[in-house]
Amino acid sequence: MSLKIMSIASGSHGNCTYISSETTHILVDAGVNLKRISDALKTIGVGITDLSGVVVTHEHDDHISGLSALSNAGVKVYAHERVMPHIARRIGPIPFENVDFFDAGFEIGDIAVYPFRIPHDTVYPLAYTFVSGGARVSVATDIGHITEGILSNLKGSQVVLLEANHDVEMLMKGSYTQRLKTRISGANGHISNDCAANVATVLAHSGLKTLILGHMSEENNCPELAFSTVLSALDANGFSDKVRVELAYQNKCGEYVDAYVQAIKEAGNLWGVPVIDFNSVTGMNPMIEEQLIYFYDSGYDRLHPNTNGQERMAHTLMYQLLSLPASF
């Protein structure tokens, strides 16, 4: 049995992660609106009514702003009882009958859910590990510092979505107030790229296959820097060819990629410039098992196309260009 993971949003504009088995569909947090969640799920053939539940990490707005709408749509909310009063103060009460409280591990469908404490400046912050069959996936962001307990819970996961919030130098030289810099870099704030790199090397020794870097600051980080910092650490320890590193981030508008593509199409239409939605028309989706034949390695690298994928992309581009009202 396998588990799938998709980052719907990750960053200060909102956080939401999708975890699924063949029959169970879970969200970790709902920090974006219902439409954005729905649009993201539609890309993989899942509807809001298919969701088995949403688990909450903590009560900050970028993790709960869409929670009421999900609850109103009939999605069960799973949260620690200490967190719910603070959620209610921020977004209003959620009907008691639609909330399941926990203080230890629990199950949603065929997925076992294991919450564990993390240091952050909220009431009762949590990260989660999800287990189904032999598959193990963890989501851990908004972490002030790494503890032995965190590492213990992350070890053994084949896939981990881990915070890489900031580059220390960019943070210290940036425009934030000193008070905010102290909060972010403090013991209950957010971990840096360097810290994420250290965690990556530890987890690489315990079976990590894919590391997804998330909750990256737009002001104090950049995706390329986070990626290179972690990859360099893995390479120095002989794991760069064994652990795939991916990025989960938003553009500056905090939009999911579909909204970004739609904006480009509208701009192209306004200016009379043809737009080829290459990501869509190639029919290559690494989340669909039947299409993994187009990617480098189904277990290790679902980002880069293999020879079959390159040929499909080339043919797609050729036919798209031939369909345009122009001669070559």
* Confidence band, pLDDT 50/70/90 cuts, at residue 285: confident
What are 298-316's pLDDT values in tens digits? 655 667 788 998 998 898 8
Please give the CATH number for the structural domain made up of 4-258. Answer: 3.60.15.10
Burial class (CB in 10 A: 0-12, 13-18, 19+), 219: middle
* Confidence at residue 10, expressed as pLDDT on a 0 to 100 scale: 93
Q: For the chain, what is the mean pLDDT?
A: 90
Tokens coding 183: 């909060």
Predicted TM-score of the model (pTM): 0.78
* Confidence at residue 250, expressed as pLDDT on a 0 to 100 scale: 65
* Confidence at residue 21, expressed as pLDDT on a 0 to 100 scale: 96
The residues near 35 (Cβ < 8 Å, ≥ 6 apart) are: none
Contact 296, 244 (CB under 8 A): no
Q: CA angle 37-21-157, nearest 5°?
A: 100
HSE-up (13 A, CA, CB side) for residue 286: 18
How many helices and strands in the chain, by DSSP H and E? 12, 15
Burial class (CB in 10 A: 0-12, 13-18, 19+), 227: middle
- Cα distances (angstroms) measured from residue 2 to each of 130, 132, 275, 289: 11, 7, 36, 11
Distance CA(315)–CA(309), nearest Å, equals 10
Residues linked to residue 113 through DSSP beta bridges, in sequence order: 106, 130
Asked if pLDDT for residue 82 goes beyond 70, the answer is yes
Q: Residues of CATH 3.60.15.10 domain(s) within the chain?
A: 4-258
Q: What per-residue string of b and e applies to 167-193 under the rule 16 or more CB within 10 Å gives b?
A: beebbeebebeeeebeebbeebbbbbb
* Confidence at residue 305, expressed as pLDDT on a 0 to 100 scale: 85
CB atoms within 10 A of CB 244: 22
**What is the C-alpha R_g of the chain?**
20
Distance CA(189)–CA(166), nearest Å, equals 11
What are 120-145's pLDDT values in tens digits? 999 999 999 999 999 999 999 999 99
What are 204-249's pLDDT values in tens digits? 999 999 999 999 998 899 888 999 999 999 999 999 889 999 988 6
Taking Cα atoms as reference points, which of 308, 188, 224, 204 lies closest to residue 213?
224
The whole-number average pLDDT for the span 56-72 is: 96
Instruction: Give percent above pLDDT 90 in the chain.
Output: 69
The whole-number average pLDDT for the span 144-155 is: 98
Distance CA(16)–CA(21), nearest Å, equals 17
